[in-house]
Amino acid sequence: MKKIILSLILFSTVNLFLAQEDSTEPENSTFQSKNGFNVFPEKGDFAVGLSMSPIFNYLGNIFNGNTGNASPNANFMSNPQLSSPPNHLFAKYFLTDKTAVRATLEYGGTDNQNKLYIQDDAAIFADPLSNANSEDMERSISSTFILGAGYEMRRGKSRIQAYYGGNVFFMLQNSRTEYSYGNPFSELNPTPSTSDFGTNVLAGDSRILVDYDGQTMGFGIGGLFGLECFIFPKLSLGAELGYNYIYTKTGQSRYQYEEWNVDVAEEKYEVESPTSTSNSWGTVNPSANFYLMFHF
């Protein structure tokens, strides 16, 4: 019922906008408003969008009686053909009045540090009553890079236009966890005190120095189809569907660890898991989330 009500509101609003502007269509198919502004995007225009989901959620909460209904946020539109969280930039550039290239870019990462106090073994060896502490640290590092390009073609002479085309994507992800310890291995201290961060302490007093997750690389290719209704000059309300094939490959995961061997500290490597691959295909964005697209 809520979807039906929202749909009625949406189309009533669009009809109201269309009724408020008399537009003429000359024989050269340049659709203009009554003030002489071109309604459709033109060669050389850029386009960025805002997701309509926060607005629809806001309206839906009004109808279901939600008393904690916060005002909608202005969320920039992500590429509808990527199902990952929308942390990337997405824009279009019109090569002609009827064709455009699409670009997607994301480069981001995290660097989180978690420190714990542990007794200072050297200080306690010198003074058993010492309360001195040293620090152990767990550092988690990750990065994501996504690059995509696409091409779309448009058709339609009224305010409602259809577009279709294709996209290709490339993705690269890396992550690792590093550990540093305040109490080193030594002949006087072959079993140093070590903080347990959850997975860093191994059997036999060994401990992990670096835990490498396998690098993930992937690419995707697919087609898209969308509809846009130009409610104002160069401002459209639209929705998009797609069908994609995505391939990913994740390399070996391994860790580097240290242990005491008779009279010396040794560093070794251990493989955790082999290389794996994934193939997936199907429709993308089947709910056809609405968006507002601005052309300038």
d(CA 209, CA 200): 8
d(CA 77, CA 68): 25
The helix/strand/coil state of 143 is strand
Q: What distances in angstroms separate CA 30 from CA 48, 183, 236, one per listed residue? A: 22, 75, 16
Cβ neighbours, 10 Å, residue 131: 9
Among candidates 242, 210, 222, 226, which has minimal Cα distance to 290?
226
The helix/strand/coil state of 124 is helix
Range of the domain at 250: 2-295
Report field, pTM of the whole predicted structure over 0.75: no
* DSSP letters spanning 175-234: EEEEEE-SS---SS-SS------SSSB-GGG-EEEEEEPPPEEEEEEEEEEEEEEEEETT
Contact 176, 210 (CB under 8 A): yes
pLDDT in tens, the chain (296 residues): 444 444 434 444 444 444 444 444 443 356 777 777 888 999 999 998 877 655 555 455 555 555 555 544 444 455 565 655 456 788 999 999 999 999 988 888 999 999 999 999 999 999 999 999 999 999 999 999 999 999 999 998 889 999 999 999 999 999 999 999 999 999 999 999 999 999 999 998 899 999 999 999 999 999 999 999 999 999 999 888 888 899 999 999 999 999 999 889 999 999 999 999 999 998 875 545 678 889 99
Contact 103, 90 (CB under 8 A): yes
d(CA 168, CA 147): 9
Number of domains the chain is built from: 1
Among candidates 211, 61, 40, 223, which has minimal Cα distance to 139?
211
